Amino acid sequence: MTEDAQNALQEENRLVAQRLEKLQALKEKGNAYPSDFRREHYAADLQAAYGERSKEELAELNVPVCVAGRIMLNRGAFMVLQDMTGRIQLYVNRKSLDQDTLQQLKKWDMGDWVGARGTLQKSGKGDLYVDMSEPRMLNKTLRPLPEKHKGLADQEAKYRQRYVDLIVNDDTRNAFQIRARMIEYIRSYFAQRQFMEVETPMLQVIPGGATARPFITHHNAMDIDMYLRVAPELYLKRLVVGGLERVFEINRNFRNEGVSTRHNPEFTMLEFYQAFADYRDLMDLTEDLLRSMAQAVLGDAQITYQGESYDLGQPFERLSMHDAVLKYNTDLGAEDLQDSSRLRAAAERAGVKLQGSWGPGKVLTELFEHTVEEQLRGPVFITRYPAEVSPLARRSDDDPAVTDRFEFFLGGREVANGFSELNDPIDQAERFRAQVAEKEAGDDEAMFYDEDFVAALEYGLPPTAGEGIGIDRLVMFFTDAPTIKDVILFPHMKPRAASRFPESG
């Protein structure tokens, strides 16, 4: 630990010790953690209702209010109170408050939770404030907040102590408020289109619905290994077989893979299925959903992300994987993608580590991921994915080597994946067997054979299209967040030893 860090820790411990003394004094006077205070007014509501009134009008109205929140600034006679809606000032009126109360107010610190009854007034500078008549300590906080101007500057500390980050950073609170509004909008959007919201198992005997490495756990009572779901897809399609023709789930998925600015082991997806639709219908729906959500949540279909502008108001581009590879690899021609040996050579030049078991569809996909994905600024749909890498998608009628599938890209990142569903149980069984062969060959992300899902298809899945949209990545764009950790309240971090909490007395 550096000398500066040691000094900072010693100073924090000193301040904690002081607050512990104040807490002990409160306990000696009575209940230090009261629960009988009831807030009646919120800061934002008061600002909206009375912010435009003059100082003289408010003095004449003499509006009684009762507020509660956390002290964010202490300016002596004025304190700044922050609640879940915003901020308002508290006034320490030395002419009307008794001496015992004034002495108690001197012991209030930044970060303390307090309540106050009083009258609403306006200062000469035009700020609303509560002229306190009945101040009340509700929770004496023991740890000091970060300094006002420095804030919680350390990125790792922001993620490990999100509760502190939310207290002191307006941008953080705003990002998660936008996230909440987005999810609320999604639910409303699908409900209006006769989709039913459902819940499917997170613990599964067979992980399926995506090619991903699962987390493994053990169920003691049944004495079996189980898996945290990588996707809810196979269960949702079972529901469509059962006659729930339009279903959606806002779900938590778990994948035992890398952690990066775009990946978290636990993440949120929107997944939905619509009978009597195909992948083209879902591209239309996705375009409408994103455009209307941007307008509803942000007030504009034009989004700026990390300095680049993205117009969700214009028609989204649609491009096949084959054509995308040719567009972004100008040294290649169509003949290079049609000849297996030339395709493999092109992939090797691009840095793809080829495996002998890969067919041309897998090689093309790897070439696309290595050379094209990050260049796709979008909004753009990439279509016609090879059947080899799409074990659950319906084959195209005009070319059985590809599927009726798309992925949606924005800013070089995949945000959504959708396709016309494979509803041929015999074809599905064959593809599961091919996945099992891949797993036996060492592919940890390949799928298991799901016998019950094949049986469900044998009862008949109507023509259906389904899609998954990454909520976290979408929120990143709507909030201009550079990393996925900024839009997940508690992102996964490697554990570290906690510092010792100073003991009282």
CATH number of the domain to which 456 belongs: 3.30.930.10
CB 321 within 8 A of CB 386: yes
| Domain co-membership, 119 together with 220 | no
- Residue 74: φ, ψ to 5°: -125, 105
In a domain, 340, yes or no: no
| Domain co-membership, 53 together with 196 | no
In a domain, 277, yes or no: yes
Tokens of 441: 């060959």
- Residue 413: φ, ψ to 5°: -130, 140
* Tens of pLDDT, residues 138-148: 999 999 998 76
CB burial of residue 222 (10 Å; 0-12, 13-18, 19+) = exposed
Q: What mean pLDDT is predicted for residues 66-74?
A: 96
Question: Looking at the chain, how many residues does it have?
Answer: 505
| Domain co-membership, 51 together with 128 | yes
In a domain, 338, yes or no: no
In a domain, 348, yes or no: no
CATH of the domain at 9: 2.40.50.140
In a domain, 152, yes or no: no
Q: Given its phi and psi angles, is residue 89 left (phi above 0), alpha (psi -120 to 50 degrees) or beta?
A: beta
Last residue of a domain, one of 111, 145, 179: 145
Q: Distance between CA 237 and CA 275 in Å, rounded? A: 10
| Domain co-membership, 219 together with 315 | yes
Distance of CA 385 to the CA centre of its chain: 27
In a domain, 150, yes or no: no
| Domain co-membership, 190 together with 133 | no
Residue 480's domain comprises 170-329+372-487
Q: How far is CA 187 from CA 175, 270, 289, 497, in A?
A: 19, 10, 11, 40
> What's the pLDDT at 211?
76
* Tens of pLDDT, residues 270-326: 999 999 999 999 999 999 999 999 999 999 999 999 999 999 999 999 999 999 999
In a domain, 23, yes or no: yes
| Domain co-membership, 91 together with 36 | yes
| Domain co-membership, 119 together with 56 | yes
Mean pLDDT of the chain: 92
Compute the CA torsion angle 29, 35, 40, 45 (nearest 10 deg). 100
CB 255 within 8 A of CB 228: no
By mean pLDDT, which of 132-136, 152-156, 240-244 is the weakest? 152-156
| Domain co-membership, 198 together with 132 | no
> What's the pLDDT at 253?
92
Number of structural domains found in the chain = 2
CB burial of residue 3 (10 Å; 0-12, 13-18, 19+) = exposed
| Domain co-membership, 137 together with 285 | no
| Domain co-membership, 35 together with 120 | yes
| Domain co-membership, 139 together with 185 | no
Using DSSP, how many helices (H) and how many strands (E) does the chain show? 16, 18
In a domain, 181, yes or no: yes
| Domain co-membership, 216 together with 275 | yes
- Residue-by-residue DSSP string for 404-445: SEEEEEETTEEEEEEEEBP--HHHHHHHHHHHHHHHHTT-TT
Tokens of 478: 């709507």
